[in-house]
Amino acid sequence: MKLRVAGFFRRWTAVPAGLRAQGVLAAALVAIAGGSGGNLVVRALHELPAGSAFRVGDVVVSQEQLQQRVNVMGLLYGVQQPSDPAGTDRFRRAVAKAVAVSMIVDDAARGSGIVIADKAASDQLDKTVSDNGTDRKSFVQQLGAHGLSEKDVLDEVKRQQAGARLFQQATAGVKAATDADAQHYYDANRAQMVSPEQRDLANIVVSSPDQAQLVAQQARSGKDFPALAGQYSIDGSTKGNGGSLGKVTASQLDPGYAKAAFAAPAGAVFGPVQTQQGWNVGRVGAVHPGSPMSLDQVKAAVKTKLDNDEKLKVWDDFLVSRIKSARVEYAPEYLPPDPDAPPVDGQ
C-alpha cells in the first residue's frame, strides 16, 4: 500500500524530488500558490476565447486541455481534485499556474537545446508503472478508459525529464556546502536534530466505510489482526504479511492517516481513515521514540539541504525572470493569487 504523499506540483515545475525540504530529514511538498507579488501583467488587451483557461505567449490552453493534463497526472501520480467548493477553486487556480509554468519551462528547455529521447521517456514510464504495481499493457488500457493515449503520458514524462535537465543546467554553478557550513547550521538548529519517532504499523484497506467499521469492530474485540488482513484487505502488497507496513515515520504517510496512527497508543486499533487507496483500519505495534542526533549522523543530510536550498534560490530567480517575460494571461476563474511568484513550500 502506498500511503506516502507525493507533491505533484514539483513534477510540473521541474524541481527534482526531495529538494524542497523543511528541516534536515523531512520530505517536501511543493505548492504553486504563494510568494510575493510582482510585475506580471495579466493582460486585458486581448480577450481570451470562450472556454480558455489561460494563454502563454501566443498559445491558448483550453479548459479541456488543462483537464487532460490533470487527468494524466492523476493516473501517473494520484493527483485528485478536492470535492469541496473552496478546495476545488484553489485546486483549479493552482493547476492552471502549474501547467502555465511547466510550459514556460518547456520553452526554456527547448531554447537550451535539451532533447529527451523516446527511449528515456519510455524507460521512465515503465518504472513509474511498475512502482504503482501494474504493467505497461494494463496501464495503457486504463488510459483508454480515461480518454487518454500512451503518447499523452510519454509527452508528460518528457516534459518532466527536460525540466529536470534544465534545473541541473541552471543550478550548475552553485557551490557545494562545506563542513564549516554544516557545523554552523547544526549549531543553530540543534533542537531540530532529532531522529523522528517511528512506529510499527499494520493496516487493512477495504473499499467502503461500512466494511471498514466492521473490520475495526472485529479488531477492537480481539480478533487476530493478521487474519483480518488476509480476509478483508484489498491491498495485495501487504495482506499476505498481516497488513504490515513495517517501521515508518509520520512523514512517510498520508497526513490524515499519519495523524490517526501517531495519536494512538501502542497496541491500539485506529480508524477507519480514508485515503486515496480506500478505507483504512490500522493497528499500532511498537513505538520507537525519536532521539538526538550527532553532527556526524546528520552532516551529509545537512550539506545536501544547504546545497538544495541554494539551488532552489537560483532556480526560483530563473523562474521569476521567465514568468515575468512570458506574457501569461489567465481567465478570471483560473487566476492564481500570485501569478508571477515562483513555486514555494507549503500548501
pLDDT tens, N- to C-terminus, the chain (347 residues): 333 322 334 434 555 544 443 333 322 222 222 233 333 333 344 589 999 999 999 999 999 999 999 888 887 777 778 888 999 999 999 999 999 999 999 999 999 999 999 999 999 999 988 877 788 888 888 888 888 899 999 999 999 999 999 999 999 999 999 999 999 999 999 998 999 999 999 999 999 999 999 999 999 999 999 999 999 999 988 999 999 999 999 999 999 999 999 999 999 999 999 998 899 999 999 999 999 999 999 999 999 999 999 999 999 999 999 999 998 999 999 999 999 987 554 33
Which CATH number does 196-288 carry? 3.10.50.40
d(CA 107, CA 306): 29
Q: Considering the entire predicted model, what is its pTM? A: 0.67
d(CA 333, CA 314): 31
End-to-end distance of the chain based on CA atoms, in angstroms?
24
Model confidence over 104-129: pLDDT tens digits?
Answer: 999 999 999 999 999 999 999 999 88
Q: Where are the domains of the chain?
A: 8-177+299-345, 196-288
Q: Do 293 and 23 touch, CB atoms closer than 8 A?
A: no
Q: Which CATH superfamily is domain 8-177+299-345 in?
A: Porin chaperone SurA, peptide-binding domain (1.10.4030.10)
Same fold yes or no, 8-177+299-345 and 196-288: no
Query: Strand 244-249's sheet: what is its strand order?
Result: 244-249, 198-206, 278-288, 269-275
d(CA 255, CA 147): 31
Q: What is the secondary structure of 179-221 as a DSSP string?
A: HHHHHHHHHHTGGG-BPPPEEEEEEEEESSHHHHHHHHHHHHT
Rounded to a whole number, what is the largest CA-CA distance in the chain?
69
Tell me: cis bond preceding 272? Omega within 30 of 0 counts.
yes
